[in-house]
């Protein structure tokens, strides 16, 4: 158990809908990262937050948004869902946001299926 929690574990929804994925980082970790993993794309970095502020954006679509709250939990919002958004979404956390220097602790993931 990494100490990172994600809810829900599974999510099935329809195209055009909007969903929210939630992540609670390990106690004391200030950085939260979101990743998308699909079979043909591997693990894709979406976005990083550090202590409530957005630090880096990766291949995140405009239909997707995220935020980190004062208690450091984070939410990833996915809207106007398309079939291609079906994937495993992972949240990870690390102690600080020093790029590359800190190991990331990954949550169990949320499996999103868009029908």
Partner 1 sequence: SQKIEQNSEALNIQEGKTATLTCNYTNYSPAYLQWYRQDPGRGPVFLLLIRENEKEKRKERLKVTFDTTLKQSLFHITASQPADSATYLCALESSGTYKYIFGTGTRLKVLA
Judged on CB neighbours under 10 Å (0-12, 13-18, 19+), 36 is buried
Residue 15 near residue 77, CB atoms below 8 Å: no
User: Whole-angstrom Cα distance, residue 33 to residue 43?
Assistant: 12
Judged by beta carbon, residue 16 or residue 58, the one nearer partner 1 is 58
Closest CB 32 distance from partner 1, rounded Å: 12
Closest CB 78 distance from partner 1, rounded Å: 19
Closest CB 16 distance from partner 1, rounded Å: 27
Judged by beta carbon, residue 42 or residue 70, the one nearer partner 1 is 42
Binding site for partner 1 (CB under 8 A): 2, 4, 33, 35, 42-45, 48, 55-58, 88, 90, 92, 97, 99-101, 103-109, 111
Judged on CB neighbours under 10 Å (0-12, 13-18, 19+), 42 is exposed
């Amino acid at each position: 158990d990494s100490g990172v929690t994600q809810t829900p574990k599974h999510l099935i929804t329809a195209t055009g809908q909007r969903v929210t994925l939630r992540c609670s980082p390990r106690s004391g970790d200030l950085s939260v990262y979101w990743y998308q993993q699909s079979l043909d794309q591997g693990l894709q970095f979406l976005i990083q937050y550090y202590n409530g502020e957005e630090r880096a954006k990766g291949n995140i679509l405009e239909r997707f948004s995220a935020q980190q709250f004062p208690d450091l939990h984070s939410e990833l919002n996915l809207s106007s869902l398309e079939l291609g958004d079906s994937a495993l979404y992972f949240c990870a956390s690390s102690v600080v946001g020093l790029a590359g220097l800190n190991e990331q602790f990954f949550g169990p993931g949320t499996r999103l299926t868009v029908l």
